[in-house]
Amino acid sequence: MREDFAGLRELLLVAEKRSFTAAAAELRVTPSAVSQAIGALEERLHARLVQRTTRSVSLTEAGARFVAELRPAMEGIRGAFATLESARGRPTGTLRLNVPRLAFGPVIKPMLARFLTAHPELRIDVTLDDGLRDIVAEGYDAGIRLGERVDRDMVAVPVTGDMRMAVVGSPAYFDAHPHPRHPRDLAAHDCVNYRHATSRNIARWEFEVDGRELTVAVNGRVITNDNEVMVLAALDGQGLAYVMEHTVTEHLAAKRLVRVLTRYCPSFPGLYLYYPNRKNLALKLRALIDFLRARP
């Protein structure tokens, strides 16, 4: 067997995304090119790695075993490139980030243009994803998550201050419903529910009452996995929404939304940039960390 690595990156991306089209979009090639690269790899290895049907793409048993061995090896290769990059003294290449939608506004949006201007040889690939991904297995350089969701074996760098949740409803909603005075009063209200992207469970609303945590399961006719949809539903008078405070600041100031139960919504650790504890930190990631730390 020839000792070349053609097709390996394509295989890892197809394994991650379960799609030739999505893998091709990331590589900026055609799906046919990805298929041909993997086909050539399978021919060299004399093994079928990917099972293709008209509706889905999955790994074969042999493919799953091969990918499990391949991922840590590719991490080692990335580390070698990081060492070379450090020797050159400037960040280059593509910085891949996995970021929840709620982090785009307060973290990514205000820094993106300035960061790219400061580092003209860098590209940044931002995936908006509210699921809890394995950033190492899926080839991301770093992720952003709420502090409570970052695994303990990761290095975590705070990128915002503490945050708070807010319970909000429209003036029209409160024209027809009394203001809740206590979290338990939510049982009598229509509420917009949030479904977690990874577990698929409906989130409970978390409060603090007399120094103790109180979680409440609420009912309502709207369920979504997107914060923006929750805010829009509240604006339309469809019920109360339990959302990040920073996502409704302007609506509250303009009196399009009314906030309730504020005293029961304590602050909590905000958003963190996190990444694996590697021996050689890529210069491109170091540049991002330094940039975020230097923000006013």
What pLDDT is recorded for position 2? 46
Contact 167, 259 (CB under 8 A): yes
C-alpha 288/C-alpha 123 separation (Å) is: 12
Report the SS3 class of residue 37: helix
What pLDDT is recorded for position 89? 67
Report the SS3 class of residue 88: helix
C-alpha 166/C-alpha 291 separation (Å) is: 30
Residues of the chain with pLDDT > 70: what percent? 91
Domain count, the chain: 3
Q: Which helix (H) or strand (E) holds 254?
A: none
What mean pLDDT is predicted for residues 53-62? Answer: 79
Q: Which domain holds residue 96?
A: 89-161+270-294
Average pLDDT along the chain: 87
What pLDDT is recorded for position 45? 85
What pLDDT is recorded for position 82? 59
pLDDT tens string 114-151: 999 999 989 999 998 888 788 887 788 999 999 888 88
Same domain, 94 and 59: no
Same domain, 152 and 279: yes
Q: How far is CA 76 from CA 46, 70, 152, 282, in A?
A: 25, 10, 22, 12
Q: Is residue 37 part of a domain?
A: yes
Strands 93-99 and 142-146: parallel
Q: Which amino acid, residue 187?
A: A
CATH code for position 51: 1.10.10.10
pLDDT tens string 262-276: 999 999 999 999 998
Same domain, 136 and 276: yes
What pLDDT is recorded for position 1? 41
pLDDT tens string 143-189: 999 988 888 889 999 999 999 999 999 999 999 999 999 999 999 99
Same domain, 152 and 172: no
What mean pLDDT is predicted for residues 88-93? Answer: 76
Let me know how many helices (H) and strands (E) the chain has, helices first: 10, 15
Same domain, 185 and 249: yes
Which one of 10-24, 73-87, 227-241 scores highest in mean pLDDT?
227-241
C-alpha 264/C-alpha 167 separation (Å) is: 10
Q: How far is CA 248 from CA 47, 77, 119, 171, 243, in A?
A: 53, 44, 33, 14, 8
CATH code for position 110: 3.40.190.10
